[in-house]
A = this chain, B = another copy of it.
Amino acid sequence: MSAPYQAPLPFMRLALEQAARSSGWSDVGALAGSLELLEPVLEGAARLAREVLSPLNGVGDAQGSRLEAGTVRTPPGFPQAYRHFREGGWTALAAPEDVGGQGLPLLIGAAATEMWAGANLAFAMCPESAVGAIEALRRHAAPALRERYLPGLVSGESTATMCLTEPQAGSDLSDTRTRAEPDAEAWRLYGRKIYISWGAHDLTEDIVHLVLARTPGAPAGTRGLSLFLVPRRVAGAGGAAVLNDIQVVSIEHKMGIRASPTCVLAFGDRDGARGWLVGERNDGLGCMFTVMNHMRLGVGLHSTGVAERALQLAHAHARERIQGRGRDGSPQPIIAHADVRRMLLGMRSLTHASRALAYHAAAQLDLAHCQAAPDRERSAQRLALLTPLVKAWCSEVAVEVASLGVQVHGGLGFMEECEASQVYRDARIGPIFEGTNYIQAQDLLARKVLRDEGAALEALLADIERAARSAAGTPAGTLCTELPRECERLRRATRALIAARPAPARLGAIAHPYLHWLGIITGGWQWLLSLEEISVQPDAWPESLARAVRDGARFCRARTASAPWWNTAPRVCWRPGSRSPEARQA
């Protein structure tokens, strides 16, 4: 048994601080005032993650959720854990106060979101959907609907799902066939949806499904889709709650996140599933994007948690596993091997960059909510640019870090009972769901970069170049010169693309490598911001963290530099017994 998940509080605080400072978040009184609650939130979330969620992670993997006589049973302990979660007020953390939430900024909620996934990704996915659903209902639903359903979502008495995918349609929503027929009271829905995460479970009585469907006479394609709220329970004849016409057809057997029931749901197999329109007819996709953009940021945060967990497990194993002897003949742990340290540093370099980038996006979301124009537009523009990047890049980082984590474990990492192997399997969902990474890449390049002729990108590159200038002279070393060089290359390449107006298919071939490139650049940027943060407030951080940041930034440079990186392994890797961050924590 591995030690339970420990939230990496020093690194989280650092990422929060740099996100708040670099985005301008800390200059907004309404946001910065909430920082006095930061420590209790971090400590409380860390405790719940460590004591309640993490111990269930292996059980959830081994037993999975099961479908028994039309009902989904989650693994032992999950209902109790959810009760803890709900009673602790964690479902209400970042929900607005006007609907009963605690109204904390999303930036603060981001750290908690990361923790849930680091401790137990399958569990974490359940409350995450509600966050987006709350926002979508607040923005798009009629008052009566809001009053009826928001309190339950905020208090955690109900959970939410997104029902988009259909068997014949996959990522392409234009072929959605689920239909909604007008009914005396509201609407009746008929259709089948697949890949519904937490589509049925025993954690709560009610579930709020947000369903894309087509109304009679609606235009073809995605412009004919409307969004419906379809609850698990509706009022029956006498006013008492009865089950709506939704059947769980099956749940998937997946290679990871096995505790999270992924359902095939049949709506309206009997007399139609009762539903209520959210937003305008035929604007369903627009409303759903409110949920999806939240979820995509959520995938970035969750992926960071998964990568962090892989790092923790590998780090603990590397310190504990004795193998061979040092020069003095004493038994030595495998962390003494330069290659093990290289892998651990690589894992940290990617994980911290992923975290800081995702937090930066969360800060922009707060800003977009509370600023006045034109600042609000600037933040919204930055958020729109970063959302697909965070979803795709962080999820790929998690897959890579999880694979390195298995490698550090050697043969043990291939065993089912080793949590590192679970993390490797769990992590693989990130690049697939909530819009495949190809969809994210197309969104990034075609809609977020080219449509405004590179304006949002240019603002980002300018920020990065500014950070590099102000870090010149710090221990960042060559990162300060290499990052601006990469920015300039990306800028020139983007301008060439804008001028060439390539066909969509050509953009499609370029999109993913382009996203990956921008991910590496922004990851390097986040390490620069970390360096800046510890330089600005040298006394605010423990020296061990400051050292880890200096090492991490140097290591990260190896990624950013376009030169072959074989010779850039920093000295911390090849000096056994040196004060590497990995060795120091031992």
A567 touches B510 (CB 8 A): yes
Q: Is A339 an interface residue (CB 8 A)?
A: yes
A564 touches B323 (CB 8 A): no
Q: A323-B169, A574-B503 are in contact. Are A415 and B562 (CB under 8 A)?
A: no
Chain B nearest CB: distance from A517 CB in Å?
Answer: 5
Chain B nearest CB: distance from A283 CB in Å?
Answer: 21
Closest to A563 in B: B562
Give bound CA distance, A170 to B441, whole Å: 42
Closest to A575 in B: B505
Residues of B within 8 A of A148 (CB): none
Q: Is A319 an interface residue (CB 8 A)?
A: no
Q: Is A475 an interface residue (CB 8 A)?
A: no
Residues of B within 8 A of A438 (CB): 337, 339-340
User: Which of A416-430 touch B at CB < 8 Å?
Assistant: 416-417, 421, 424-425, 428-429
Give bound CA distance, A194 to B412, whole Å: 11
Chain B nearest CB: distance from A510 CB in Å?
Answer: 6
Q: Per-residue 0/1 for A550-586: is the Cβ within 8 Å of any B Cβ (1 yes, 0 no)?
A: 0000000000001111110100011110000000000
Chain B nearest CB: distance from A521 CB in Å?
Answer: 10
Stretch at the interface among A137-145, A297-305, A403-411: A403-411
A506 touches B574 (CB 8 A): yes
B432 touches A414 (CB 8 A): yes
Q: Is A413 an interface residue (CB 8 A)?
A: yes
Q: Is A129 an interface residue (CB 8 A)?
A: no
B428 touches A406 (CB 8 A): yes
Residues of B within 8 A of A157 (CB): none
B565 touches A513 (CB 8 A): yes
Q: Is A146 an interface residue (CB 8 A)?
A: no
A255 touches B338 (CB 8 A): no
Residues of B within 8 A of A255 (CB): 414-416, 421, 424-425
A417 touches B509 (CB 8 A): no
Chain B nearest CB: distance from A231 CB in Å?
Answer: 25
User: Which of A191-223 touch B at CB < 8 Å?
Assistant: 194-195
B415 touches A436 (CB 8 A): no
| Residue from the set A334, A407, A416 with the largest chain B CB neighbour count within 10 Å | A407
| Residue from the set A169, A410, A436 with the largest chain B CB neighbour count within 10 Å | A410
Chain B nearest CB: distance from A497 CB in Å?
Answer: 9
Q: Is A514 an interface residue (CB 8 A)?
A: yes
Residues of B within 8 A of A256 (CB): 414
Residues of B within 8 A of A281 (CB): none
Q: A505-B574, A508-B574 are in contact. Are A564 and B566 (CB under 8 A)?
A: no
User: Which of A286-342 touch B at CB < 8 Å?
Assistant: 321-325, 334, 337-342
Residues of B within 8 A of A431 (CB): 407
Stretch at the interface among A15-23, A45-53, A171-179, A237-245: A171-179
Q: Is A399 an interface residue (CB 8 A)?
A: yes
Give bound CA distance, A334 to B432, whole Å: 15
Chain B nearest CB: distance from A523 CB in Å?
Answer: 15
Give bound CA distance, A255 to B405, whole Å: 14
Q: Is A453 an interface residue (CB 8 A)?
A: no
Q: Is A501 an interface residue (CB 8 A)?
A: no
Q: A563-B562, A575-B505 are in contact. Are A417 and B253 (CB under 8 A)?
A: yes
A433 touches B411 (CB 8 A): yes
Q: A253-B416, A414-B429, A513-B564 are in contact. List 20 more A-B contacts (CB 8 A).
A: A165-B411, A168-B322, A170-B323, A170-B411, A172-B323, A194-B411, A253-B415, A253-B417, A254-B416, A255-B416, A256-B414, A406-B428, A407-B437, A410-B436, A414-B428, A414-B432, A505-B576, A513-B566, A516-B566, A562-B562
Could you list which residues of chain A lie within 8 angstroms of chain B, going by C-beta atoms? 165, 168-172, 174-175, 194-195, 252-256, 321-325, 334, 337-342, 399, 403, 406-407, 410-411, 413-417, 421, 424-425, 428-429, 431-433, 436-438, 441-442, 489, 493, 502-503, 505-514, 516-517, 562-567, 569, 573-576
- 27 A-B Cβ contacts within 8 A? A168-B322, A174-B324, A175-B323, A253-B415, A254-B415, A256-B414, A338-B508, A339-B441, A339-B442, A339-B508, A341-B509, A342-B512, A403-B428, A406-B428, A406-B432, A489-B564, A502-B574, A505-B576, A506-B575, A510-B569, A513-B564, A513-B565, A516-B566, A517-B564, A517-B566, A562-B563, A562-B564
Nearest first, the 10 A-B pairs at minimum CB distance are A338-B508, A509-B574, A509-B573, A172-B324, A506-B574, A513-B566, A338-B509, A509-B569, A339-B438, A253-B416
